[in-house]
Amino acid sequence: MKKVARILVIAILITCLLTVAKRALTPLLMKDSNFGIASLENHGADILFIGSSMFRQGIDTKDLSPEGKYTYQLTYNGFQPFAEYITLKEVLAQTDIECLVIDMYPYTAVDEPKISDTRLFQDRSFAFTYDLFSQIHKYGNADYYDLFDMMVQSNNEMFFTWPLSYPFIKERYYRGSKIGESAGCTAEYLDNLEVSYPYESELNPVQTTALDDIIDLCNRKDIDVIFLETPKYRRMYNDDTYAKAMQAYLDFLKDKKVRVLISNGTASACSAPSWAEVYEYDSSDACLFSDLIHISSDGRRAFTKAIEPLLIDT
């Protein structure tokens, strides 16, 4: 029995040591990476894109340098406004930006608070992670096992295999954007995909409060704010729930005194207000998409080219 207890104590001590070491070392290891928060804090940015995988896969940062501005992407799968606000507060305590471009994906604003990508707290402190957990525990479905997962288990595979995995992962990014190739699809494939996204179209009050907080924070720091929608395949614009959710998002942004850039597909589905700026994108071309909501590498280049003129005056 004593032997079992001794082994258990040793295991707990090793776990605690590795957990603390991971939190202490990862920010230092990632300060010169091509992705992550530590790199942004270290190098700064003129234009910061913050959002979900739709930004990461949809915007070609290496080909997007309006008027010589230094651009950077802070993107995580399913990144929601409540988490974006907590992250932005931390970033702006360390560095300044001129313009914030927010991923205007309505389902991140419809959902209850949750974390879909544990890389969000890969190079962050215990306090930052606990702040995120407090929100998803209070307003979502997180329990204390999730806290253990966030604090102890998350990103261990990256930390333990760092010399081997990090060089490969780093090469996939440039200033936070994905630079690997994603093949396009056929219309037959996309037309047969199930639209498996939330069936709600009403914005979540926790998320809208966070969006208001982001806008207020940027106003206080004299940072321009742009809400940018990435293109979706035509079936999404024909989906009633998606159109209602996007309309709710547009209604929310009315009178917020921010720039809003939407696709011609959304403009048609939602009767675009006069204050929204509309860019042209062929949402019927399946080759430009890797699924219903993400664009392919060809689509990424086309989208980057479409939005660059809109950012020149930023």
Q: Write out the chain's pLDDT in tens, 314 residues.
A: 677 677 777 767 877 888 888 899 999 999 999 999 999 999 899 999 999 999 999 998 887 777 778 899 999 999 999 999 999 999 999 999 999 999 999 999 999 999 999 999 999 999 999 999 999 999 988 898 999 999 999 999 999 999 999 999 998 899 998 888 888 899 999 999 888 777 678 999 999 999 999 999 999 999 999 999 999 999 999 888 899 999 999 999 998 999 999 999 999 988 777 889 999 999 999 999 999 999 999 999 999 999 888 886 65
- Domains of the chain, CATH where assigned: 33-120+173-311 (3.40.50.1110)
Buried b (16+ CB within 10 A) or exposed e, 34-64: bbbbbbbbeebbbbbbbbbbbbbbbbbbeeb
Long-range contacts of 250-254 (CB under 8 A, 24+ apart): 250/276, 252/109, 252/203, 252/208, 252/211, 253/227
pTM for the whole structure: 0.93
